[in-house]
Structure 1
């Protein structure tokens, strides 16, 4: 079963969620920190207001008494010069009647709206603190604009949030690195499991796996052991059955053919012909089962390179000798074309026999079956047929799969070819229409290491 490229990645999902959760927790911590910072800043600013007002009271009273200005009209008072910079704190010194006696440079000329009562008081734009002298004849009111506090809070928030813009990507990359290293054994186990099929049932080495993955590897190994046992039993049964059936089937077929010859002109001749056809199909099926068992036994490779062109010549010649119309099977190859590879001659001959046999049986009877050998490969076998769809091409590759044909067949030929070519590091490519034609069917043998 092929994995979909759009399937979600566990690693990507883990990295994404860890990064998102980490960023969320950081943002939550910064948000809670800002709430605490706002409260602490309010306490600090309120304390500063109180300290400033209480320190100004004796200074203002002393200055007023020294200059004998208590009770003077506001128009007689002058404010001190300023450097022109904005004052963060402004104040007014007022008498019991609420008149302004002294004010800071940026303080308004009109009295503050705060009442002449000691303590904190707030308006929409200012926080006030009022302090009075001992006989409560002079009041000092100091005001702090809320925009100053908001500016301090914004600067504090920027100081906390800006580093996160750098830290979140950095931590994301660190999480990616750590997670990739942590899940590497999972990837190694996945790749090891992907290699397991009917041709590779060796146990997985679990010694280097973390303990969390060892039960999975142990389960896969137990499954592989049961699969090996089942496959061995199946191959042995198939090989033994096919081998044991060949002799009695051949004997029965010979006797039936003799009977058919003796029943010339007899009304029983038709039944004898049917028995002969059935025995022929049974003999053919037994042969295919024997080929399948040999293919699954792994006979595809050889220790040294062999001349596969010679094997092709022998197989084509053998078919032509047994055909009523030898000219229907045509071998085409350039002069001197060679094909060599370290594969089994017997296995390659089985591949060629199945493909040529399929072309002769299922191809259009009045069109030739052509076998092409190019220098160094590939080998192409074409026959006449209506154009087949991609779905039909995929269906006939399956064991016992059949296309749109009325001809007899076991449905095992292409399955045997696929198995043997897989062992030879090759592949079978089916195409319709055939190369250079508007119709037909083509089976192409490609050996990847050539």
Structure 2
């Protein structure tokens, strides 16, 4: 799924909560303003009731307050007042004072009430004087209060909502300005050729994004090292293949020029050995390439079972040299790995032991939890040559056949399995010992 640009994500991530905060402020302001205005208007109703009672004291008969006889401006003010408010005053059981728009119903009980009348909801305050001396009722249409609340709310929220697009513009421009270093960094990476694995300049990159640049440069450094190793491996492989292929070509010429059946048979035997050597070399090269690509270690394998399979696989080679393979110990147990990788590692170690150990000798394998030890009776490897023994195509004795890939494969598999391989000299200073410490 295509992601939005980072500055758009920042705008949404900051702008949406900001709009929510403004809306929340609006709700709180509305509730607060409504409550405060209701308190003020209720107080005015109480005050109006007290003043109306005092005015009613001078009225001997019922007085209806109308706008008759007022000047035009005063009449307009009176009519405006009458649209929203009305009042009634009873004194000694009779109606003494009332507005011309007052209701004809009986007075309500003492206190505040909200009633529905023609034209909408009204807020009513009724005051009953002690000893039944009189009742004062003041009414006010709630719409008047709502108008005041709306005006207060508009005056408060309008600047906030006008500030919202301005804030969005500031966030947009600010994020674009703040991310300019990242855009330059991404542009530098995008313009590189596939072969350019040099570090990417992180100058101008925000401090918070420096770990990203460091991680990318660390990855490029690893890829650069891996590329160099692959080139070295390819060069060495080409060199190693050139010699046996040249030998095969020479043997083919010898067969073609053989004058007797004996010479031809001898040349064919040599050609067969050369083909076997090239086949083994290619097999080891493919194995090494496959091991370097292996990454999945989620599978569980039984080390002892894999070891048994390896011994069965090389039994005929050992028997051909009159050699025996002895296994002892408590067993290596279970580990997380690909069984085929563990098989290849142990197979290469046993192949080397069988190849270099003398005929009729013994190969001893000792097992313990997460530990395998192989000991042969061959010529061994001196301490100063053990580090180089794991390098691809390195042979301690160039006169002996081999490609120099066996221990290189072992080290590569061990690294993939997070295992440790250690060469040592067994007791008695005869042969070579190998400790394999499994994860």
TM-score, normalised with respect to structure 1: 0.48
Structure richer in helix, relative to its length: 2
